[in-house]
Structure 1
Amino acid sequence: MKRTPKTMYKSVFLFLLCLGVKAQMTLDKEKIEHAMVSAMEWQEAHPIFALAPTDWTNGAYYVGVTKAHEATKNPIFLAALKTQGYRNEWKPLYRTYHADDVAISYSYLYANATRKNLVDLGPTKAFLDTHLYEPNKWKDGTDPNKEKKILWWWCDALFMAPPVITVYAKQTGEEKYLDAMHKYYMETYNLLYDKKEQLFARDTRYQWGVNAKDLKEPNGKKIFWARGNGWVLGGLALVLTDLPQDYEHRDFYVNLYKEMAAKIKDLQQEDGLWRTSLLSPESWNHGEVSASGFYTFALAWGVNNGLLDKAEYAPAVKKAWNALVACQHQNGMVGWVQDIGADPQPATADSWQNYGTGAFLLAGSELLKMD
């Protein structure tokens, strides 16, 4: 992960250029909404996905569009949600054993709440019933890949499926889905959460003591991927939004959220963003927008919902948002987004992905709710 002085100076220069506007601690909500609309319009004009329009990348993007509409009531966001839903015939992707492939249903469920009989939830129900209750090679531990021995074997999954399950249970009134969600969430927590570092390993390949050859950063620290933990913390905020106050396991999610939020706040860098490698920020000394967007959203959500102390966390949130906006191009494109991956890698001012736009929209949606 070492970089030459020449390439390091180039990255630092590009990043400083990205942050050329001095961050202000005030919030102009009209400008926030304008930045969100601009980001969505650019993304809609530049569609991208890894597998199909219903895959996890678009799923994460449209979670951001969902929250943008919820916060602004701007019809342009709802129009985008409905358009993609009709185009997709309200279907998740085809891998019913894979948590990623139901993430798109979060936007369907939101659209369903805006107008009766608008959405066909049959495909989402069929996916969840198969995913949660039918056997598969991961549940059975028969997958030849040794790290894939539980249903949600990678930490990203905690963003992809649990928020969908929580909203679905809320809309249908069937608590059995929450119990199934909690069962599989606990499996992932017990396998991947490092209680000392208060962070999640992306999967067991990055978990010390599990592999014969432990992976580590050049500084000797464990590898904790920024976006991986962004998936988890952002997912926790989404889950807690819809999890019933009297649900018997709610305290577990609240406590985990607060613990991770405190850790993430401490890892914020001076420019307001987070680095791709949380415990080795010097590996690539520039901010990364997808992880930073998820963190900004999650921390702002905690302030807005009374779980985090406003005096302590609001300055960090505002600083992060101003840094995110400085990474948005004039045409609306959100840059400095690490490409699809599973571990810390660099980004550039011109690197973008739809899930990075989604994270940006999520962050803006909560900033609009702050005083």
Structure 2
Amino acid sequence: MMFLLKSKRSRSLLFVLLFLIPGVKTYAKVGQVNNPDSLLQKAYILNIMHKVADWQLNEWNTNGFKHPKVDWTNAACYTGIYALGSIKNNEKYLTALVNIGNDLNWNTGRDRFMADDYCIGQTYALLYTRYKDKKMIAPFILLADSIVNKPHDESLEWKNKIASREWAWCDALFMGPTALSYLSSATGNRQYLNIATKLWWRTTDYLYDPAEHLYFRDGSYLDKKEKNGKKVFWARGNGWVLAGLVRVMENMPANDPEKARFEKLYRDMAAKIASLQQPDGSWHASLLDPESYPVKETSGTGFYCYALLWGLNHGMLDSKTYWPVVKKAWAALASSVQPDGMLGYVQRIGASPDAVTENSTEVYGVGAFLLTGTQLYQYLNKHPEAGKN
């Protein structure tokens, strides 16, 4: 039955009735922020980060871990939880990570040389830096030493299970070099950073398109095309890269001989990514064919917003150019959080662009969101005037 409710009172009554019907969701439209003016207030940023993080922790505590605790999916989430826990008076989030580490006996995954399986090492190294408990990094040090000693001379072609041995896919650049770089900072052992940078450029030489300033997902995508005939560049895949890039640079000493090369790559990618932002402030699942995937995607958007904010916080990007970009991106992210704290519009696990909905969620999207919020909070601490315009 279709009918029109002409009066405001009738519409309000319908809303109340819907609220009382079991199974009907009545949250404010996902994709809409009730008070856009509050988005850049530090209290709002902290509150929405707490909301998202607490939803995720409660999900784990209530329903268990959907993926193994050591898995790359959760490991990406831990990076954001750690970032939030590093803000004063948020230590409960660090405690949650220590408990997870203890449950795992501080081990990495079973597939020793696959970057996904030691992504968690970056969180172990960060926790060790804070608490100085050697058990937190002892198993990872043994693995890292064996990575340093491997020849790394296999072809990166996408065959023969190469991902189990080398960084042959772009996602790996968030998983592997970051973990080794943070371990290098935690231990003072420069070998770990050296191998991270060496292998970073090996992967880049194979998967980076210097004309587009973007990375192919893996060798199987080098010749693939989107529906519009353009190359396939996956939003989250390049999000993994850009976020991984800043996390490696975070561990580079000022005099590192590779620093200038990393900085150039970062600025080139940042400019390209900014140019591909959609009118709603997000990036869609396909960077060069957003029309085929017309809905915002929050894991790629989160990693881009995080990496661009990191560049602003470290004086590497021009605020006049990039502050408007991150403001729009943050609005797209914040409007994707449902009232209970669940982050929507996260593309499921995959290797290429795919559809999303407001109810699509995954842990790595939460990690990207929290990394972004933490960098935004830091930026507004340094530039409070930025929150007023």
TM-score computed with the length of structure 2 as normaliser? 0.85
Q: CA–CA distance in 2 between the matches of 1:141 and 1:23?
A: 50
What amino acid is aligned across from residue 189 of structure 2 in structure 1? E
Pair 73,314 (structure 1): closer, same or farther in 2 beyond 3 Å: farther
Local SS of the residue matching 2:159: coil
Tell whether the 8 Å contact from 2:156 to 2:168 is kept in structure 1 after alignment.
no
Deviations 1:195-249 (A, max 9, x none): 01100000011113xxxxxx21111000000000000000111111111111111
Pair 32,146 (structure 1): closer, same or farther in 2 beyond 3 Å: same
Say whether residues 1:29 and 2:45 are aligned partners.
Answer: no
2:324 to 315, 319, 326: 315
Say whether residues 1:349 and 2:362 are aligned partners.
Answer: no
| Unmatched runs of 5 consecutive residues or more in structure 1 | 1-15, 209-214
- Paired residue for 2:267? 258
Pair 44,50 (structure 1): closer, same or farther in 2 beyond 3 Å: closer
Tell whether the 8 Å contact from 1:334 to 1:357 is kept in structure 2 after alignment.
yes
Deviating beyond 4 angstroms after TM superposition, the runs of 4 or more aligned structure 1 residues are 22-26, 48-51, 141-144
What amino acid is aligned across from residue 225 of structure 1 in structure 2? W
* Number of equivalenced pairs: 348
Tell whether the 8 Å contact from 2:70 to 2:109 is kept in structure 1 after alignment.
yes
* Greater RCO, 1 or 2 (C-alpha within 8 Å, sep 6+): 1
Residue 119 of structure 1, CA deviation: 4.1
Residue 132 of structure 1, CA deviation: 3.4
Q: CA–CA distance in 2 between the matches of 1:30 and 1:355?
A: 24
Tell whether the 8 Å contact from 2:126 to 2:186 is kept in structure 1 after alignment.
no
Pair 356,286 (structure 1): closer, same or farther in 2 beyond 3 Å: same
| Unmatched runs of 5 consecutive residues or more in structure 2 | 1-27, 384-389
Tell whether the 8 Å contact from 1:96 to 1:130 is kept in structure 2 after alignment.
no
TM-score computed with the length of structure 1 as normaliser? 0.89
Pair 106,144 (structure 1): closer, same or farther in 2 beyond 3 Å: closer
Deviations 1:302-349 (A, max 9, x none): 011100001111111111112101100111111100000000001111
What amino acid is aligned across from residue 98 of structure 2 in structure 1? K
Q: CA–CA distance in 1 between the matches of 2:322 and 2:296?
A: 19
* Identical-residue share of aligned pairs (%): 39
- Paired residue for 2:184? 169
Local SS of the residue matching 2:128: helix
- Paired residue for 2:131? 115
Tell whether the 8 Å contact from 1:276 to 1:288 is kept in structure 2 after alignment.
yes
Residue 25 of structure 1, CA deviation: 8.5
Deviations 1:34-67 (A, max 9, x none): 1111111111122376752101001100011111
- Paired residue for 1:148? 162
What amino acid is aligned across from residue 105 of structure 2 in structure 1? E
- Paired residue for 1:222? 231
Residue 289 of structure 1, CA deviation: 0.4
Local SS of the residue matching 1:268: coil
Say whether residues 1:104 and 2:113 are aligned partners.
Answer: no
Residue 259 of structure 1, CA deviation: 0.5
What amino acid is aligned across from residue 68 of structure 1 in structure 2? L
- Paired residue for 1:20? 32
- Whose radius of gyration is greater, 1 or 2? 2
Say whether residues 1:83 and 2:96 are aligned partners.
Answer: no
Moved more, 108-117 or 313-322: 108-117
Pair 144,196 (structure 1): closer, same or farther in 2 beyond 3 Å: closer
1:2-81 alignment runs, 5 A limit: 17-21=29-33, 23-24=36-37, 27-47=40-60, 52-81=68-97
Q: CA–CA distance in 2 between the matches of 1:134 and 1:182?
A: 15
Pair 73,94 (structure 1): closer, same or farther in 2 beyond 3 Å: farther
The CA RMSD measured in Å over matched residues stands at 2.1
Moved more, 257-266 or 42-51: 42-51
Q: CA–CA distance in 1 between the matches of 2:317 and 2:157?
A: 40
Tell whether the 8 Å contact from 1:166 to 1:239 is kept in structure 2 after alignment.
yes
